[in-house]
Structures are given as structure tokens and as C-alpha cells.
Copies of this chain bind each other. A is one copy, B any other.
């Protein structure tokens, strides 16, 4: 006798032994053979935060469907038991499985559960960034250049991660990072303009704000449209986001026609030099102070996100996190102050 209809749970919230309904993405389907030569499939189903394996034996009920019908990248509704094994990791035993139906969307299916996302709403972040570009850039030509680029690339800006696996590696991460860097730059621009009032040439606040908003704009053409794991495009690998971002600025400024060429040149320079040192991937050294401010605003924001993510996700016993593979260190979390 079948069990009662279980509740609908998110895959990554299932506990060891729990029987439930859940949606999942088929991320991988690999043919295997037992030592005795019997064929089987290892299917890996996942949501944004967990991947679990389903073994499909050739004498089991799902083999034929699996072999002929199930497609990697397809969504399914499953009913079954979740378990964790030391040797084999998260495992599924299922009672039923079927492809996603249109009706499921009303019934709780939410694409964003399958993609790790920024904590912030992309639309709101984009509106905030656009608002900053409108209010904080005094020069009309430059403002128009920035707004044109933001509007033209609104979709990938809201969708992409900042990087694939270093910092802000989640959907909307590029926008979250860009907005935060821009705010850092505004704070620092105002402070240092006050501190160095007689600097010649003076700090150009417009330039810095525009540079912050566009510093990673090249990412929108560096990565493709794969929603789940964006891949580098051909220009992405052949040139990288510094060249591509500068191209976007050059071409758009040329198209608009009425942007101050000196500003465009400086904007291009701070974009390609904002990684600061050659050993960090910067093809040129920063030759204007705005670029230096942008560099620190950017680097701090990226690193801090890595610290925050490591601290948030860590599950190690003891006062230190496990060694973060990108930061290369154990962070200190066991503090009461």
C-alpha cells in the first residue's frame, strides 16, 4: 500500500530518511555497468543547494524512461526518500517521478530555488544602480553613456554572477557587487575630495562613479546565457572582461557621439587598470588616483563577500572555519564580541 501523499519539501531541506515530494533538476545522467556487467544509470538531481544521486538499475522500474526520455537540464517532480551515505553521499530512493508540468508553477515550483541567488532583489538593485547613475553623475554625456550601457545590458547584469567561483558566485552577484562598489566609491570620493581640496588635477567624482558602475561591465559579454552555470564565451576567453568592457565603452561612446573624449579615455583607463597590479591580472598600472580608489572599493567588496560567505556556510566544529579554498585560510568565528 502506498504511503499517504507526503508534503512538498525543498530538496535541500530534506533530512536523512525523510519521505517527501520535491522538485529537482536532472543535472547529470551517466551510464554504468556493475561488476557483473549489468547496465545502470547514475542520475544526479539537484536544487540550488544540494545534489543527490538516484541509481537507476536496469531491472528497476525507471530504467527505460531514464534511458529514453529523461534529459539533462529538465525539471522533475519526485516522490521518495532521501538518505545520506558516507561512501555514496546524498542518495534518493523514489516511488514516483515525472517531468515538470505547467501546473506545478502554481503548485510551488520556483525556478529560483534551483539557482543560487543574491540576497537582494535584482530588480531593486538595478533600479538603485540606475538611480545612482542618474543622480550622482553630473556630466550629461557621461551619464548618458552609463545609462545606455545599463539599459542595454540590464538582463545579463541582473542574471549573472560576478565571477564563477571566486566572489559573488551566484545569480545577481554581478549586480550586487557593482552596486556595493559604487556605493563604496561614493563614500570615498566625497571623503577624499574634502581631504584633498587643492589636488591638481582634482578628483573627478563623475569619473569615479561611472568607473564603479562600469568596472565589470565586460562580464555581460564574457559569459553566456546558461542560467545555471554560465560559461565563458569565445570573446570571453580570447580577450577577458577588461578588454571587452572597454570595447563596450568605446563603441557606445562613439555611437552616442556627444561624450567628452577625455572622460571616455580616463574611464577606459580606470576600467582596464582597476585590478591594480600585473600579478593580479591588471594589464596597466593605475595612473590616476580615481583608479586607485576604485581598486580598493572593488577589492574590499569582493574579499568581504568571500569572508561573509565562508563564515555563513561553515559547519566546522571549533572556533575556526574549515580552510576556505579561495582565501587559503581558516577564519575565526568563535568569538562572542
| Interface 9-residue window, one of A148-156, A159-167, A264-272 | A264-272
Other-chain residue from B265, B278, B330 in contact with A278 (beta carbon distance below 8 A)? B278
Assuming A243-B243, A287-B330, A312-B200, is B83 touching A55 (CB within 8 A)? no
Docked complex Cα distance between A37 and B235 (Å)? 47
Docked complex Cα distance between A128 and B311 (Å)? 35
Assuming A37-B83, A37-B93, A239-B269, is B311 touching A201 (CB within 8 A)? yes
- Nearest to A201 among chain B residues (CB) is B335
Cβ–Cβ < 8 Å partners of A281 in chain B: 278, 283
Assess whether B332 is in contact with A288, with CB atoms less than 8 Å apart.
yes
- Interface status of A84 (Cβ within 8 A of chain B): yes
- Nearest to A300 among chain B residues (CB) is B296
Other-chain residue from B232, B287, B300 in contact with A292 (beta carbon distance below 8 A)? B300
CB distance from A23 to the nearest CB of B (A): 22
Cβ–Cβ < 8 Å partners of A192 in chain B: 304
Assess whether A37 is in contact with B308, with CB atoms less than 8 Å apart.
no
- Interface status of A212 (Cβ within 8 A of chain B): no
- Nearest to A264 among chain B residues (CB) is B337
